[in-house]
Structure 1
């Protein structure tokens, strides 16, 4: 018997759905505080030396953190090709805006301190702000649009056709619910960045970070609650009808999909998934309390738990859907009919089993080496400091 046949196809599909979630959560937990720190930079740091301190808290680690983003994009491409084709083409302009903002970050890090000119440095500081705030906002906007359904359809030969216009491909994404989820994403990552700065800095910077992080945390919690109510009463969800074939061919048009009364119907069918929003609220609330009181490491850890809960809430609420269609529900992509082949998923899983522990060990070692606060003396006295 061929080895990959020992692992059922339906199990591999679920495993890769989980792994995709792990990669996205890993990206939000690590690069999320980089983006949050960038969004806070012009506000928590008033002087040039303070801004250099803030930049040096993330400068040595942001490239490694962004690996999770690259791995997530690669996993979508290899494990869920239809998802990659529809989302990266339908959200093309939004993706371009994210990449343009992310490009500002390395350029800002490298060039900001090359000149003593105040206007030069201030301009790059605002570029770093955009490099953090814009992706954090647009990622949340994208999630809001996915929950509402994306205007695409599949032809009989499975060619995806996105029906949106130029307006729909970018400006149309900025609808009220999507803007709400964007605000939740932005405020949640700002709180995460504030928790990071409270851990890595001291004095006025840490005090301001705690204050801004507290405000952002309140917005994130309120926005998350409002988004849940909107999901319950604002628009319909999706559900699979009839017999669901979990190990059949990857052809979304084989599935029977209908609109449901609400996405929250999933909680009636699978009550255990309620643990995800509970973790989201609990993590963000505890992070908020730690930011207001004492607790540096714990504030960051609670913030990570909140991120885990919020992102898991979206994935578990939608399961098994990964990209519903608003104009042709039958074209909606699900875990059971939008994956790569059995062999492809198996080979990729072997690669993950080999390389993921190495990535985690290397990441842990880097953070161990760089553990400790960044002070003004560190920035001014270290001749090797590039930021």
Structure 2
């Protein structure tokens, strides 16, 4: 079995993989939901759009559930503190997600234009709101979250919901929302044809451009806009038992850039995020939608990886008590817990990938209007 220090890093990487997997797999479902009211101009077209993701969306949410479970089990202090500070934001995500299962199941049960239009907008909310809030959350993490611990390691959040909606965090929300919308548009272009495909490509191109511009602006803001990063100045025993108060942390103007200065190879992450999005646009124009989906997935990996690499080893910095900032080293579960979870992950993660790949292979191909008309009662 790996020693404690290595397991801590492994779980940082695994949580990152789960977040990227969620953004790629459940993200294209949400992107399709975001584009639904604008790409589908009538009921048949909207049913085509819905049926591109209808058979897969609930399976893809396994990534979301697994990611949340992994954070709960591997980083319990992060989970508890985040759900305290981001309580109303997380509730907003859950409320938005409620529209998805009900919308998919109920939308086509009644032949009524008002009924169906209402659920179409419900699916839009379920697709558009979560990526926006997740991006806002990341923006706040990069600025630091106002929380502190007492001597019993009970956390207290001293901010408010409205403080989360600050300008930089909203810009990060734009990056996230545009990224997911681009990804959904690429997937929709791959699974449809005709006017629906044309509109999906147009939506994906606009979203990709917004993503690239806002991503670069966020990077410049972090570098030049006075947002300080966090740096550990004391000696850290990476193999010690977790104690978030047993370190010294300071804020520095170049705090989030030091990893990039020490490891220049990390610059590949923002380059991949930006260039992959631009290549996605070129491939969409050339109607190479399958390859565009791969490049779009790489763009997501690059963007999320950029933030993760900048913050390492910090997971949830504290703006009001920097020494209480939660890091990879001091917010984790026990050695035994991390080891048992790693074994379970090595068993079940491949199974998730295998069954997901099989499902997409079986249900591959274009979804057309003629297919919807021929399967009036079995399609969504």
Mapping of residues 188-267 of structure 1, within 5 Å: 188-234=179-225, 235-262=227-254, 263-267=256-260
> Which blocks of at least 5 consecutive residues in structure 1 are unaligned?
1-5
Separation in structure 2 between the aligned mates of residue 332 and residue 64 of structure 1, nearest angstrom: 35
Partner of 1:321: 314
Separation in structure 2 between the aligned mates of residue 313 and residue 16 of structure 1, nearest angstrom: 18
- How many residues in Structure 1 have an aligned counterpart in Structure 2? 378
Partner of 2:268: 275
Partner of 2:38: 43
How far did residue 294 of structure 1 move? 2.1
> Which blocks of at least 5 consecutive residues in structure 2 are unaligned?
none
Separation in structure 1 between the aligned mates of residue 376 and residue 283 of structure 2, nearest angstrom: 35
Corresponding residue SS for 1:126: helix
| Residue pair 2:107, 2:119 contacting (<8 A) in 1 also | yes
Mapping of residues 14-25 of structure 1, within 5 Å: 14-25=9-20
1:291 to 284, 288, 301: 284
Separation in structure 1 between the aligned mates of residue 215 and residue 248 of structure 2, nearest angstrom: 31
Separation in structure 2 between the aligned mates of residue 288 and residue 314 of structure 1, nearest angstrom: 23
- Spell out structure 1 runs of 4+ moving beyond 6 A: none
Partner of 1:3: none
How far did residue 8 of structure 1 move? 0.9
Corresponding residue SS for 2:267: helix
TM-score by length of 1: 0.96
How far did residue 221 of structure 1 move? 0.1
The answer to whether structure 1 residue 150 and structure 2 residue 145 are counterparts is yes
Separation in structure 2 between the aligned mates of residue 43 and residue 384 of structure 1, nearest angstrom: 24
1:85 to 47, 71, 80: 80
Separation in structure 1 between the aligned mates of residue 239 and residue 247 of structure 2, nearest angstrom: 12
Partner of 2:354: 361
Mapping of residues 24-63 of structure 1, within 5 Å: 24-63=19-58
2:113 to 81, 95, 118: 118
Deviation string, structure 1 residues 254-300 (Cα, Å, up to 9, x no partner): 11111111312321122221111111011111111112222010111
| Residue pair 2:372, 2:379 contacting (<8 A) in 1 also | no
Deviation string, structure 1 residues 342-385 (Cα, Å, up to 9, x no partner): 00000000101111111111111001101101011111112552
Corresponding residue SS for 2:230: strand
How far did residue 39 of structure 1 move? 0.4
1:338 to 327, 331, 335: 331
TM-score by length of 2: 0.98
